[in-house]
Chain A
Amino acid sequence: MTGSAGGAGAVTRRPRHALSAAYVLRKCLSAVLMLVFVVVVNFFLFRVLPGDPAKAFAPRGRNADPEALRELRERLGLNDSWDVAFVKYVKSVFSGDLGVSFSQHAEVTDVIMERFWPTVLLSGTALVIAAVLGVWLGARAGWRQGSRFDRLGSSAAVTFYSMPEWLLGLVLLVFLNRYGIFPARGMNDPRSTLPAWLDVLWHMVLPVTVLAIVYVAEYSLIMRSSILDERRADYLTTARAKGLRDDLVLRRHALPNALLPSMTLFFLSMGFVVAGAITVETVFSWPGLGRLTYDALRGPDIPLLQGLFLVFSAGVIVMNLIADLLMPLLDPRVRAA
């Protein structure tokens, strides 16, 4: 494929690099702009929440001393006018300081970091398992559309997909825990005699299973429909005509093309991994960001919420950026001309 360079016509062919520098720069720039936008919106977003943080986080709660409350409001910066507070906020965010959490009495960055890895461990593992399993199931089902496997698999997928996570979690927890098979809470057992990593793995089994079961449907359904799209394609007829076994036609020819939509979904979900799964984290008392968010809404704990949403948004934006940069490598059709 040789092409004359520098043509102005729309159909002129040029040597194509998967990623042009301009494309990368454009994508990075828009990611940065989005982040800045999030930082700004963040500030206003949580100031419209009702409630009185000072009252919620004062010692003795409802019994707080009015005098102490006045001092606390001053200290928390709740008395600042909007513009003063905004300037303060922007300055501190860009110097990497997210402030002090009202409810946890610690630096927001520390509070979030403490909960960050447990959440990534839980949702990330579940996501990878769900993607692998879902792709496999969906591909099988789509390839043999209408077979028993397809009918059973798809209806099971839809059933679990529409099931509330917490309900599934509770049912599994109560049922299995009854026989002492899995622990009922958290990430570690303070009385465990197992090595630490095994203990964590052991505590992960149930919540990861629940999340994976719920996520799997997304992948299997998307995969199934993209396999259905590919099934009648000419290149598959060619492959079949070469005398390849049906199985190989699926694996070597149909699958790579059909995988692309799932890839996109995977990266999108990856962005949401840091946000954790509030309901599952709650049922299994998992020390993650999802539960932290839920707790932070009480009050509201404005600095913590701001920090959390910044992290969540950054997660999604960064993962989208990665997806944007990978897609041209994976799929020639989306390459920038």
Chain B
Amino acid sequence: MSSTPPAPKSWLTNQSARRPWARLAVAATAALALLGVAAAPAVADGTPAPAASERSKTSFVIGVKQDIDSLNPYVGVVAGAFETYQLMYDYLTTSAAKDFAPEPWLAEKWETSADGKAWTFHLRKGVKWSDGADLTAKDVVYTFQRAKDDETANGQYSSYVDNITKITATDDHTVVMEVEKPSPIMLRLAVPILPEHVWSKVSAKDAATFANDKDVVGSGPFQLAEAKKGQFYRFTANKQHFGGAPNIDELIFTVFADDTALAQALRQGEIDMAQDLPAAIAETLVKEPGITVNDAKYYGFNEIGYNLGAATTDGKAIGDGHPALKDKQVRLAIDHAIDRKTLVTKVLNGHGGPATGVIPPIYADLHWNPGSAERAFDLAKANSILDAAGYSKGADGIRAKDGKALKFRLFGRDSSEYSKQTAEYVRSWLKEIGIEATVSIMSEDNLTVVLGKGEFDLFEWGWVVEPDPDFQLSVMTCEQRSYEEDGEIAAGWSDSFYCSEAFDKLYAEQQTMIDPAKRAEKVKEAQRLLYEDVAYSMTYYYNQSEAYRSDRFTGFVPQPSEGGILAFQYGTHSYRNLKPVTAQAGDADSGSGSGGVVLWVVGGVVLVLLIGGAVVVLKRRSNADDRE
């Protein structure tokens, strides 16, 4: 090539004929080095794992499927976030493991005035924050006052605090709350008590973006040690907690984005528990030695909802729902045409049961079902109901009345396979009774909008029901229909536009009943009314599969006792009570394969690279005399 002595140029210039391989190698090395340097902060910000000392700890690792959106109790909305608040902080009361009944927690005892408008909570003495300061009534007052005044905090806790008019500390261990109307929710105030001396430094402006992921001061049974967003959250046990010292030293949540990987990690022992596995995947784990799968009752139900005459709260009709669905006979017929047994066996693989009342059986005291009066799957009966109501079949086999054919739009949700399958089944059953349903599948966000505008006939969705039945019943009140705002229609909670004076009355009555037994009566009555009116066609209650390493850990406390769930409870029952199977926590051979294997493999890889490198170098040497 060129005969001029080349000035040393960079490898990128057109010294084209000089050892491209070497240049490429240099390029690759440079790029890798760059990446390495670039990535160093990401890698190095983790505390270097102290060897051996880590081993002597008992860590319980749970794999979860959704990252925790925020550790800040004012803004997090996903289930995992609420789980961390329960660990880091304490609440006035908790929900019993046995049956969800309110139990003393930070508040040892309480009394309420005769009119139910003043509540006095007596706090436990000697509770300390993790920084050593005392937890007093001042902190409780601060917490509730802030939840009322601070916009961000109120967004999260309004349903608990808006009814409270005044909150005062009469001494260090007594808090008095005055309420607008008596409410049973006062024993379920799920507001984590925060330390005033820390949170008073977080301004109202910062509250919405405060991460709360470092140096967290809490009083709860587990304290945050390390948070790596999108990866894992490590909590250390608070051995001084008044609920008793947890038996494990560490509780770790690791985030998985893939179900198969989650199940595999449990098999491998990388984690000790997998929370919420799809039934199909959970079934593959049933036979694995050392793994127990818990098919737990869950808080939810699913339904086929109807457009019962969409309207705004002031009664103005909206949307374009099919008028025939206002006819109870049509809904009755549809309800008889839904084969819930098939849905449970085919859609849920048997992991659930047919649904009746809107409060699932997991809440045994509040759940209502019709018993022997349950509507059976009976296509002949469904057909005869429609015949009697004057919906006669046309030439195309579709029923019609007053020239309006029974052709419905049925909406399913794309986020759920169950939803798609259910919609398809329902469509085929409706065909049997002369009703044509056109299924469309869309995202939940879009469906919310469609429902709010009343532009639907039927839909498939479900609700997750809280221990207090108030919210679930409120969904069916007239008050929760859509509302108009600047000419825009916005959705309330209602998705069916059910509106019944009798129901609203029952709802209002139960809202102020403090006696649980009396209230349960009303709640059951309300459910019965919904069932008789066919406000929803309830489809199924479903289970949630959790799997854990029973060869390593034991002592879980299910909630409720009968077939309840083990993790993500109302309270921290399992976390505080689970313990390692072996007495020797030290030799729990946990972690990603044993470190030894890892080192061997890494060593092997390095060796291979070295040998390969040596071979290449030697080969180059031998070719060196081939130079031009």
Residues of chain A touching chain B, judged by Cβ–Cβ distance below 8 Å, are: 18, 50-52, 55-63, 65-72, 75, 100, 103-107, 114-115, 117-118, 120-121, 124-125, 128, 131-132, 135, 170, 173-174, 177-178, 180-181, 183-202, 242, 244-245, 247-248, 251-253, 255-257, 259, 281-287, 291-292, 295, 298-300, 326, 329-332
Shortest CB-to-CB span from A176 to chain B, Å, is 10
Q: B601 within 8 Å of A by Cβ?
A: yes
> Which residues on B are within 8 Å of A, measured CB to CB?
12-14, 16-21, 24-25, 28, 31-32, 35, 38-39, 41-44, 46-49, 51-52, 54-55, 59, 61, 63, 67, 69-70, 72, 75-77, 151, 154-156, 158-159, 208-209, 211, 226, 228-232, 234, 252, 254-258, 260-262, 264-265, 267-270, 443-446, 448-449, 463-464, 471, 480, 483, 485, 490-493, 590-595, 597-599, 601-602, 623, 626, 628
Q: Of B52, B151, B269, which one neighbours A193 at CB under 8 angstroms?
A: B52
Smallest CB gap from A58: residue in B: B77
B602 near A121 (CB under 8 angstroms)? no
Residue contact A184 to B264, C-beta cutoff 8 Å:
yes
Contact of A71 among B77, B155, B228 (CB under 8 A): B155
8 Å CB contact of B231 from A57, A188, A257? A188
Q: List 21 A-B contacts (CB under 8 A).
A: A51-B446, A52-B449, A62-B444, A62-B463, A66-B483, A71-B155, A100-B208, A118-B39, A120-B38, A170-B260, A173-B261, A180-B269, A180-B592, A184-B265, A184-B268, A188-B232, A192-B592, A202-B598, A251-B20, A253-B17, A256-B20
Inter-chain CA distance A291–B590, complex, in Å, is 28
CB within 8 Å for A287 and B231 given contacts A105-B209, A196-B48: yes
Known: A117-B42, A125-B35, A251-B20. A68 touches B471 (CB 8 A): no
- Across-interface contacts of B591 in A (CB, < 8 A): 189, 191-193
Q: How far is the CB of A141 from chain B (nearest CB, A)?
A: 16
Chain B residues whose CB sits within 8 angstroms of the CB of A132 once the complex forms = 24-25, 28
Q: Which residues of A lie under 8 Å from residue B55 when comparing CB positions?
A: 193
Residue of A18, A120, A252 with most partner-chain B CB within 10 A? A252
Q: Are B228 and A117 in contact (CB under 8 A)?
A: no
Nearest residue (CB) in A for B22 is A251
Which 4 A-B pairs rank lowest in CB-CB distance, beginning with the nearest? A51-B445, A287-B230, A117-B42, A180-B593
Contact of A190 among B16, B67, B254 (CB under 8 A): B254
Within 8 Å by CB of B61, from A57, A191, A195, lies A191
| In contact, B211 and A106 (Cβ under 8 angstroms) | yes
The answer for the CA separation of A292 and B594 in the assembled complex, in Å, is: 31
Question: A178: which B residues are within 8 A, CB to CB?
Answer: 264, 267-268
Q: Which one, B48, B209, B444, B485, contacts A100 given CB within 8 A?
A: B209
Q: A132-B28, A194-B49, A251-B19 are in contact. Are A186 and B445 (CB under 8 A)?
A: no
B261 and A285 contacting across the interface, CB-CB below 8 Å = yes
12 more A-B residue pairs beyond the given contacts A188-B228, A193-B51, A252-B628, with a C-beta to C-beta distance below 8 A: A50-B445, A55-B491, A61-B77, A63-B463, A121-B38, A125-B32, A128-B35, A185-B262, A194-B595, A196-B44, A196-B48, A287-B231
Q: What residues of A have a CB within 8 angstroms of the CB of B70 in the complex? A: 104-106
A117 contact set on B, CB distance < 8 A: 38-39, 41-42
Given contacts A52-B448, A191-B59, A251-B20, contact A121 B261 (CB under 8 A): no
A189 to B444, CA, bound (A): 34
Complex: A75 Cα to B75 Cα, angstroms? 13
**A120→B59 contact, CB < 8 A:** no
Contact at A180–B597, with CB atoms within 8 Å? yes
Q: Determine how close the nearest CB of chain A comes to the CB of B469; give it in whole angstroms.
A: 13
CB pair B265 A330 closer than 8 Å: no
Q: For residue A314, give the distance in angstroms from its CB to the closest CB of chain B.
A: 16
The listed residue (A193, A257, A283, A295) touching B67 by CB distance below 8 A is A295
Most buried by B among A105, A115, A192: A105
With beta carbons under 8 angstroms apart, the residue of A65, A201, A259 that contacts B602 is: A201
Contact of A252 among B17, B159, B590 (CB under 8 A): B17
Task: Give the residues in chain A near B72, CB-CB below 8 Å.
Answer: 105
> Which of B19, B32, B35, B230 has the most chain A CB atoms closer than 10 A to its own CB?
B230
Nearest Cβ distance between residue A283 and chain B, in whole angstroms?
A: 5
Q: Do residues B257 and A283 form an inter-chain contact, with CB atoms below 8 A?
A: yes
Cβ–Cβ < 8 Å partners of B18 in chain A: 252
Alpha-carbon distance A188/B597, docked complex (angstroms): 17
With most chain B CB atoms within 10 A of its CB, the pick from A52, A66, A190, A330 is: A190
For the complex, give the distance between the alpha carbons of A285 and B31 in Å: 25
> Could you say which of A72, A191, A245, A282 contacts B252, with CB atoms under 8 Å apart?
A191
Bound: A77/B229 CA distance, A: 26
Q: Chain B residues with Cβ under 8 A from A115's Cβ?
A: 229-230
Max chain B CB contacts within 10 Å: which of A66, A285, A298?
A285
**A107 near B155: Cβ-Cβ < 8 Å:** no
Residues of A contacting B12 in the complex (Cβ-Cβ under 8 angstroms): 326, 329-330
